[in-house]
DNA sequence: CGGATCAGATAAGTTATACTTAACTGACAT
DNA sequence: ATGTCAGTTAAGTATAACTTATCTGATCCG
């Protein structure tokens, strides 16, 4: 004899009927008509080859077979309901898993965690810091913050730009006194950030030098593959970076970095919010996006008094 | 939040996939195509609003949500399988519940129990002795032995005649010496069995006297509402019964009763085997019917040398 | 390194499960 | 005697669940 179960809908009908000792009440619990429930019970009895209930006209009682079956189904269905309740609760619980690059996580998101938690104490935020392009079908994340131009990796996803970034030289105040004008940067220790290397047109020191009309070539003294490491080095006085204001905001506010020259390069690359279509309306996802957009507003203040040149305008 | 479960077919698909860690193997277990199983998992994920598996191309692994759900579904579905196995086994176990009249049960079935058990040690026979017409939809019985002409109570049932009974005077041997011929029965203590009173044409002492050509009226000295009680009284020498050979076989064999006169009344009433249509092919039901038919064959021997008159031929 | 294989995914079409409404039955209550 | 109630069944409808065919991408093997 195979271990095959009968139609589960019929088993569920039986379970409800056995618990209520009433087909009408069982039908109500399952949101079906009494006719449907009666039919389900009958089909289960045919499957078994024996009655499960004695019909006493306006009431029913379990047969011996019915009692045998009910003993096992009640706790099993309760177990299924509990399992489903657990997993749906875990989903509906205001947990939000966000993935973003390590630099953005460390320099932009994490510092603001306190603001978000304060504004949304009911949402439990979880970070997953990786440069890998997360696949929403494969990876257990709700939201991603991606940097770049967008494109194929966003196919089939909900996407919205958050931060239209730009870069400008940033350095410790002591270094700013030593190199007081753009021309002096030709002799300054310049730090390279490799994480933007993939961008076209380039957003690097050569491009900035061209935008500044400098004929001298920039001399790179060190390379960093993670932007936050480069920022930390610059804030410690170790050199000058072509910094993104979004990543450097904290160091700027606390005076570890200054942006002494008004010239800045703009790019079409941007930080953007990405999630599976349809989940953007989930309460905690929507709350997170709204918060992101509000927080990003503060970056606009840094644009005041600056002169912007597009990286596309100075590309070779 | 309501406690509603998602479609149970999808939950079962998930359970199988989680146990096998393979959609293909799960599909095989459930006898569906991998396409169907993939679709079921996807629909469950849409119901939940989160993935339950990470697709690693040729493999899958459970997400956190999947692990949460799997923890509860595995034992619950195992519980359902066990419950169904228990009740089907109880059904398929060679248990047979038979209902028949008390007289037939006491005088014909029970004495033969040893024969049946000997012939079918694997079948557990259970008797339910009652005169009430059992309803197979309401009552937990597999088979009924009914006496009578058949009719409306057999509607929708499988029915087969087992014993075409007849009646003749029976008495203890001592009484047979005292009343050696039919005419002498006019002065004998005659016992009436009320359980055949419903039959038309009548199968009672007046009918037998008419068949025998006796002009005297039978004088009933006692009435019994259960035939087996009347038989016991006659076997003890308490009077003469118009006995059914089927019920009296044991007492005849053991010499407690004799049938001294060849004249016997026949009737269209008979003992017949009845069960719900479709269950006559169940092994233990079929075995029981075959056994009944074989056992009934022994009654034919009592017909030798007898003279039969139909009760219909002497009815008034 | 190229071709074969495998497991999972999806679209389109088909089947049958599961539902509905309407009407019936029989016992019970008024 | 009539109305009510819970369960039942027939007939019709909706959709869930299945199929086949084909695709994709990673892995395996010669």
DSSP B154-202: GTTEEEEEEE--EEEEEB-HHHHHHS-SGGGGGGS-EEEEGGGTT-SS-
Does one domain contain both B107 and B30?
A: no
* Tens digits of residue pLDDT in A130-172: 666 666 765 667 888 888 887 666 777 888 999 988 999 999 9
Domain boundary among A43, A76, A92: A92
C1' nearest to CA of A55: which nucleotide?
D7
Does one domain contain both B178 and B226?
A: yes
Q: Which residues of A touch B91 (CB under 8 A)?
A: 48-50, 65
Nucleic strand C under 7 Å from the C-beta of A28: no
C1' nearest to CA of B20: which nucleotide?
C7
Q: Do B8 and A3 touch (CB under 8 A)?
A: no
Q: Report the interhelical angle of B245-253 vs B227-235 (nearest 10°).
A: 30
User: For position B19, which CATH number holds?
Assistant: 1.10.10.10
C1' nearest to CA of A39: which nucleotide?
D8
The secondary structure element, H or E, covering residue B146 is strand B143-148
Strands B270-276 and B143-148: antiparallel
Q: Which residues of B touch A6 (CB under 8 A)?
A: 84
Other CB atoms closer than 10 Å to residue A110's CB: what's the count? 15
Q: Which residues of A touch B94 (CB under 8 A)?
A: none
Query: Is residue A34 helix, strand or coil?
Result: helix
Helix (DSSP H) and strand (DSSP E) numbers for chain A: 11, 13
Strand partners, A190: A220, A240
CA–CA dist A151, A272 (Å, integer): 12
In this structure, is residue B192 part of a structural domain?
A: yes
Checking A204-210 for CB contacts under 8 A at 24+ apart, the result is: A204/A242, A205/A242, A206/A316, A207/A265, A207/A311, A207/A314, A207/A315, A208/A167, A208/A168, A208/A169, A208/A242, A208/A263, A208/A265, A209/A185, A210/A314, A210/A316
In this structure, is residue B145 part of a structural domain?
A: yes
Nucleic strand C under 7 Å from the C-beta of B20: no
CA–CA dist A90, A44 (Å, integer): 34
Nearest CB among B1, B79, B90 relative to A76 is that of B79
Q: Do A88 and B138 touch (CB under 8 A)?
A: no
Instruction: Please name the residue whose C-alpha is nearest to the C1' of nucleotide D19.
Output: B33
In this structure, is residue A2 part of a structural domain?
A: no
pLDDT at A42: 92
Nearest residue in A to B57, CA atom: A138
CA-nearest of B264, B247, B265 to B256 is B247
Q: Which residues of A touch B63 (CB under 8 A)?
A: 140
Domain boundary among B64, B92, B120: B92
Chain-centroid distance of CA B245 in Å reads 22
CA–CA dist B225, B228 (Å, integer): 9
Q: Which two tokens stand for residue B116?
A: 């049946």
Domain boundary among A62, A77, A92: A92
Instruction: Name the stretches of chain B with pLDDT < 70.
Output: 1-3, 92-94, 128-135, 137-140, 151-153
Q: Which residues of A touch B84 (CB under 8 A)?
A: 5-6, 11, 69, 72
Nucleic strand D under 7 Å from the C-beta of A248: no
Q: Do B139 and A54 touch (CB under 8 A)?
A: yes
How many structural domains is chain B composed of?
3
The secondary structure element, H or E, covering residue A65 is helix A64-92
Does one domain contain both B82 and B115?
A: no
Q: Which residues of A touch B75 (CB under 8 A)?
A: 79
CA-nearest of A116, A185, A100, A108 to A148 is A100
Strand partners, B167: B244, B265
Chosen for mutation from B14, B64, B84 (greatest number of chain A CBs closer than 10 Å) is B84
Q: How far is the CA of A281 from the C1' of D2 (A)?
A: 57
Quote the DSSP letter at residue B302: G
Q: Do B1 and A88 touch (CB under 8 A)?
A: yes
pLDDT at A87: 87
C1' nearest to CA of B39: which nucleotide?
C9
Query: Is residue B9 helix, strand or coil?
Result: helix
Sign of CA dihedral A243, A244, A249, A250: negative
Instruction: Name the stretches of chain A with pLDDT < 70.
Output: 1-3, 92-94, 128-135, 137-140, 151-153
pLDDT at B93: 66
Q: Do B88 and A9 touch (CB under 8 A)?
A: no
Chain-centroid distance of CA A294 in Å reads 17
For residue B276, what are the domain limits? 95-162+271-297
Instruction: Please name the residue whose C-alpha is nearest to the C1' of nucleotide D10.
Output: A35
For residue B58, give every residue at least 6 positions away whose Cβ sits within 8 Å of its Cβ, in sequence order, or none. Answer: none
Does one domain contain both A74 and A121?
A: no
CA–CA dist A102, A158 (Å, integer): 22
Strands A166-170 and A143-148: unpaired
Q: Do A6 and B63 touch (CB under 8 A)?
A: no
How far, CA to CA in Å, does A254 sit from each of A54, A114, A171, A235?
80, 17, 13, 10
Nearest CB among A3, A63, A75 relative to B79 is that of A75
Determine contact, residues A14/A52, Cβ cutoff 8 Å: yes
Q: Do B79 and A82 touch (CB under 8 A)?
A: no
Does one domain contain both A103 and A245?
A: yes
Q: Do A84 and B56 touch (CB under 8 A)?
A: no
CA–CA dist A240, A257 (Å, integer): 9
- How close, in Å, is residue A93 to chain B by CA atoms? 12
Q: Is the peptide bond before A201 cis (omega within 30 degrees of 0)?
A: yes
Q: Is the peptide bond before B201 cis (omega within 30 degrees of 0)?
A: yes
Does one domain contain both A73 and A120?
A: no
Q: How far is the CA of B54 from the C1' of D26 (A)?
A: 15
pLDDT at A121: 79
Does one domain contain both B196 and B306?
A: yes
pLDDT at B174: 92
Nucleic strand C under 7 Å from the C-beta of B57: yes
Q: How far is the CA of B14 from the C1' of C1 (A)?
A: 39
Residue B176, CB-side half-sphere exposure with 13 Å CA sphere: 16
The secondary structure element, H or E, covering residue A230 is helix A227-235
pLDDT at B156: 72
In this structure, is residue A142 part of a structural domain?
A: yes
Does one domain contain both B170 and B263?
A: yes
CA–CA dist A308, A164 (Å, integer): 13
Does one domain contain both A161 and A262?
A: yes
- How close, in Å, is residue B158 to chain A by CA atoms? 15
C1' nearest to CA of A137: which nucleotide?
C9
User: For position B310, which CATH number holds?
Assistant: 3.40.190.10
Does one domain contain both B109 and B49?
A: no
Q: Which residues of A touch B65 (CB under 8 A)?
A: 87, 90-91, 140
* Tens digits of residue pLDDT in A274-305: 888 778 888 888 989 999 999 998 888 899 88
pLDDT at B36: 92
pLDDT at A132: 63
In this structure, is residue B281 part of a structural domain?
A: yes
CA–CA dist B259, A42 (Å, integer): 51
Determine contact, residues A266/A199, Cβ cutoff 8 Å: no
Instruction: Please name the residue whose C-alpha is nearest to the C1' of nucleotide D25.
Output: B57
Does one domain contain both B280 and B141?
A: yes
Does one domain contain both A123 and A76?
A: no
pLDDT at B1: 30
Q: Look at the block and give the residue holding tokens 């057999």.
A: B154
């Amino acid at each position: 004899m195979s271990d095959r179960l009968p139609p589960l809908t019929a088993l569920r009908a039986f379970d409800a009927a056995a618990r209520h000792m009433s087909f009408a009440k069982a039908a109500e619990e399952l949101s079906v008509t009494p006719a449907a429930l009666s039919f389900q019970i009958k089909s289960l009895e045919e499957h078994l080859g024996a009655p499960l209930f004695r019909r006493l006209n306006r009431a029913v009682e379990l047969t011996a077979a019915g009692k045998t079956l009910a003993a096992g189904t009640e706790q099993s269905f309760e177990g299924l309901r509990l399992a489903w309740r657990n997993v749906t609760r875990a989903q509906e619980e205001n947990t939000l898993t966000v993935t973003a690059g390590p630099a953005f996580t460390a320099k932009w998101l994490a510092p603001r965690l306190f603001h978000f938690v304060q504004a949304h104490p009911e949402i439990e935020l979880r970070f997953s810091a990786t440069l890998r392009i997360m696949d929403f079908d494969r990876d257990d994340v709700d939201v991603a913050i991606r940097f770049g131009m967008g494109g194929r990796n966003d196919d089939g996803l909900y996407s919205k730009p958050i931060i239209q970034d730009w870069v400008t030289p940033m350095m410790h105040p002591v270094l700013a006194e030593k190199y007081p004008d753009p021309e002096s940067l030709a002799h300054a220790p310049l730090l390279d950030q490799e994480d933007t290397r993939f961008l076209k047109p380039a957003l690097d020191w050569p491009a900035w030098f061209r935008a500044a009309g400098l004929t001298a070539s920039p001399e790179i003294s060190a390379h960093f593959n993670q932007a936050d490491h480069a920022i930390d080095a610059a804030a410690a006085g170790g050199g000058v970076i072509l910094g993104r204001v979004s990543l450097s905001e904290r160091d700027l506010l606390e005076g570890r970095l200054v942006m002494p020259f008004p010239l800045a390069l703009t790019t079409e690359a941007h930080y953007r919010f990405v999630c599976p279509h349809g989940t953007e309306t989930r309460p905690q996802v929507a709350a997170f996006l709204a918060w992101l957009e509000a927080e990003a507003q503060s970056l606009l203040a840094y644009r005041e008094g600056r002169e912007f040149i597009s990286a596309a305008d100075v590309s070779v």
